[in-house]
Amino acid sequence: MTTNETEAGEKMERLNANLAKVEALSLKLADVMSRHKPLRNELNSPEPEVFLNAASAYWQGMLDNPGKVLENQLDLWSKSVKGFVDAQNMMLKGQFAAPQDDTPTDRRFSHPLWKSHPYFNLLKQQYMRNAQAIQTAVSELEGLAPKDKQRIDYFSQQIIDMMSPTNFLGTNPEALERAVETEGQSLVDGLENLISDLDANNGELLVKLADESAFEIGGNIATAPGKVVYRCRMYELLQFSPSTETVYETPLVIFPPWINKYYILDLKEQNSLIRWAVAQGYTVFVVSWVNPDRSLADVGLDDYIEEGFLDAIAQVKEITAQPQVNVVGYCIAGTTMHLTLSLMKQRGDESVKSATFFTTLTDFGDQGEFTPFLQDDFIDGIDEEIEEEGVLRSFIMQRTFSFLRSNDLIYTPAIKSYMMGEAPPAFDLLFWNGDGSGLPGKMAHQYLRDLCQSNKFVGEGLELCGETLKISDVDIPTCSVTCETDHIARWKDCYHGYQQTKSRSKTFIVSQSGHIAGIVNPPSKKKYGHYTNSKLSLSADEWMEEATFHEGSWWPRWDTWLSKKSGKQVEARVPGTVTHPAICDAPGEYVRKKALK
């Protein structure tokens, strides 16, 4: 027996051994799945009537204009048959090559075999033809309500994305090559990754996006030095240690969103907005929200306002002996900060000198990409979920956000982890993204029904804390920072809401990039620029047409704006006082608590 034959035999033995491991792991996978408690149907798909209406519209279109429908079908058939014939002709000519390929560039099909191998190329071209046929059929549907049309478009695209040949081992050349190269070890590793993810989420499939073992909260992320100086059932108040000899007299209080943890603003030293603000001479306080369990099921927006925002502002005023503070609200905390400012206006409370909003929606008239999830059937399902669980569990929201970018946040990571057997990357942003928080049941219901669906804050007003809150009550100096490619809080929608405040001093900024990268954009990176325009009476499109583009981060521009509202310089403040002694080091305890599964 030759050396090559011996090596080939050993490789086959290793391959067979790994395939046997795959069979054993399959039994373990079945055991994990047997413990899976499926989500209620309302959270997985729209009510059947949506699809029935779409089917009725399609058939009505066929009756009204059968020629057009048949033309589309014949075009698909023709291209399909032609693609098959072209591939056959190449084989008959003795050429093991793909025929001409005019399909558009798609990074899912970047592996060379998708272009050169006749089998894989035929699969790719046929998939793209089918996808185009579905998209055309949906785009030509008539007689549907706009929201139903948008939902059909969304769910049809989900089917298209799911059925990509890249998502299946037998039709993914890169995964098959890896299996052969590793003698099946990649399949073993991939199946172990799949079982681990399912086991960690009670049988629910959430692809782990980051290597969790690479990060430690308070160790190599969330490391800005400071102290917890106050704690209540709603939040811990962090006061960060100064890095300058003097500071502005007016303190800065940052309210992060409670859907995720505050340390998105303190991932590492190089991109920490908290550290940067401290270095500019601000006394920085940050609210670290509690990760709610079922005992907080009855906590509503009014509790977040009274026990969260107003209480934190009062504590900071007492700690610093200052009559006013400057505040920042990020995403949902920015929305709630608007509600708080409306309430403070009606109560005659002037504790806030200025407010800055990061990616903040207040006008929900256009629900954008969230339209499919903000209709009654889905919200009814969420109401049932929170009635049973007491909270809106984090993984439900994480799954929803992921499906808005399913190829990037679901299928591509799943392919790498489960089919290629790769470990998730050590990426701090993705680690933070997976470290979510649930929402108290009452608060989630109010936010979805009263704000997102009914849009009461910019309409007749929202009844909270014994008052009717309206955006027109907000009249203090404000700055709104939005992000150009943000798909969660689209900048144009943020702009429409911001226009409806009555502040006489308003600054509006559009940063390049998205919901996170556009905000966490330190000047040292010199990466993303930003747009400004003082004419806030223009439409959003007109505003952008006339806007001035500036290279680099918006942080220094904000510093110039904020410093003018922060008073004189005083001696730097050490965290804590006699009345508010330090409880523990930052980042505190609440930030370490994991969300309910």
Beta strands in 197-324 (DSSP E): 226-231, 235-240, 246-248, 252-255, 284-289
- Give the angle subtended at the CA of 253 by the CAs of 306 and 433, to the nearest 5°: 90
* Token couple for 50: 């949506």
Q: Which residue has the tokens 């709603």?
A: 234
CA dihedral 375, 378, 383, 385 (to 10 degrees): -170
Catalytic residues: 331
**Greatest CA separation for the chain:** 93
CB 274 within 8 A of CB 286: yes
By the 10 Å C-beta count (0-12 exposed, 13-18 middle, 19+ buried), 37 is classed as exposed
DSSP state of 457: G
Instruction: List all residues 6 or more positions away from 521 whose beta carbon is below 8 Å from its beta carbon.
Output: 511, 513, 527, 528, 553, 554, 555
- Nearest Cα to Cα of residue 326 among 318, 316, 340: 316
d(CA 418, CA 420): 6
At residue 582, what is the residue type?
A: A
Gap between the Cα atoms of 227 and 9, Å rounded: 63
Q: For residues 425 and 258, what is the distance between their CA atoms, to the nearest angstrom? A: 25
CA distance linking residue 597 with residue 594, whole number of Å: 9
Cα three-residue angle 469-473-474, rounded to 5 degrees = 115
How many Cα atoms within 13 Å fall on the side-chain side of residue 250?
Answer: 17
How many angstroms separate the CA atoms of 454 and 448, rounded? 8
Residue 332 CA to residue 397 CA, distance in Å, equals: 13
Tell me how far CA of residue 10 lies from CA of 7, 15, 16, 558, in angstroms: 5, 9, 10, 64
Report yes or no: 166 and 109 within 8 Å, Cβ to Cβ: yes
DSSP 64-117: H-HHHHHHHHHHHHHHHHHHHHHHHHHHHTT--S-----PPP-GGG-STHHHH-
Buried b (16+ CB within 10 A) or exposed e, 70-98: eeeeeebeebbeebeebbeebeeeeeeeb
DSSP 160-186: HHHT-GGGSGGG-HHHHHHHHHTTTHH
Residue 186's nearest CA partner among 176, 198, 197 is: 176
